Amino acid sequence: MTSDPTDFTALSDEEWAARLTPAEFRVLRRAGTEPAFTGEYTDTKTSGVYRCRACHAELFRSDAKFESHCGWPSFFTPLAGDRIIERRDASAGMVRTEVLCANCGSHLGHVFAGEGYDTPTDLRYCINSVSLTLEPDAE
């Protein structure tokens, strides 16, 4: 029996694998990381809304994106606090804060605080491009 496609939290690994490319599945569903400076949105300056590539939930606005020169798209705040989930991540020999889509539970990246960026929040949401799709603003 196939789960309801609007309840993304109920999708099985097989259903996710059928919906996503192997690279998307590895990052979004297995908490992988795309190589630095390879993502399509790392240097994008297009105005619009960044959505979760897995479920299309609105996550970030382009006006919260900034150049951190870290190799991944960086945002200083999500569109709204209820759009993401933050949880402790002790993998890879360090403690970080993982960022997940609140709608489907997909891995987006990590958030870092206190790095000294000249942004309103001093937060850097370091997000994999493969976790996002950009919906440009209407002209």
* Residue positions annotated with a catalytic role: 126
CA distances from 76 to 59, 107, 111, 113, 124 (A): 12, 18, 9, 10, 5
CA 26/CA 127 separation, integer angstroms: 14
Contacts of 42 (CB under 8 A, 6+ apart): 71, 72, 73, 129
